[in-house]
Amino acid sequence: MNNKLTLGIFGFGVVGQGLHDIIKTKNLNLAIKRFVIKHPEKKRTLPAELFTTDANAVLDDPEINTVVELIDDAEAAFDIVSSALRSGKNVVSANKKMIATHLADLIAIQQEYGTSLLYEGAVCGSIPIIRNLEEYYDNELLHAVTGIFNGSSNYILSKIFNENLAYATALKQAQDLGFAETDPTLDVGGYDPKFKLAIVASHAYGLYIAPEAILNIGIDKLSASDIQFAKEKNFKIKLVPTAREINDKSVILYVLPKLIPRDNILYGVENEYNGVLVKAAFADEQFFYGKGAGGHPTGSAVLSDIAALRYGYKYEYKKHIDANGLAYSTDWEIEVYLRYKEESFIEHLKFTSISERYYAQDFKYIIGKVNLSNILKNRDIIDREGYFLAEIA
């Protein structure tokens, strides 16, 4: 049954405006009643009576049956979303930090109050990876879900490797285009893809993993020496989150820059595009490709969730019901490239094998195998000292 939806939307930024642009071109059984905004002094492209700064104007309105949350404050977003779900309103959100941090609580609220929270737009923009994990792979044994989850960092890296732009210049371009925020730490520091990875792990493996327990190293410490090394070896660098089942009983999760060779499918994913590679026991390998940044790509994912609510769609979280005893682990070896300064740091990481080392006055690197747990323990030192660490594909 196609139920009519009356929407109350929190936020009218890049995604909110992109969503409105798409909705006004469609003849859908829905209506936007009110936008809740933070800055009433800003000039808007819509009539002033559509806007309010009062959250309760939406949350307490019995005519509004669907809340769309598109703000950038994770804790405020949780208050909005949880209140809406408890009041009997269904919710669509694109707030990956909020969802990753509070997913267990949000699922419990949905079950208690019989409401639905959908969040396809929170992970990989226009790529419908959550819906596919829920529906297509619901009975599959997934060996791995990995790829490029952040369009902002991928845009920066594409400009560096394809156009020889300096990191700062590429970052400024990404900011000017609205792909990266004024403070780009969430994107280039690997936090944004980490939140997305935590959400993916929940739908792929039935695990609730706190984001702070997941290793993330970004591209913000990338140097000209690292770029030269990658180019000389015919690699590109991509920021890659990885969820992988190991030993038939554990799942590892981490976000690292990755040195990608030409024959890897991620090598050709450029600019603001995302690419998700799913490796399954029976379906084998499948690849999802689409824009991962920008108001219209993310807005299209949000609209897809809104449209699904017209027919009563809910996530069933089947993998949580049958999690097969899987547990989160950081006990796994990977091969890495590390550009460093102090020799003593090599001892801290406890390399189990070393295949290559290079010494110069202003450039030292080592390639070898190291345990994820040791990288996680030394994450703060890597960041503080400006070292750059990347996985070897």
Active site residues: 196
Strands 30-36 and 5-10: parallel
Short-list 187, 250, 265, 266, CA closest to 220: 187
Strands 273-280 and 333-340: unpaired
Longest Cα pair distance anywhere in the chain, in angstroms?
70
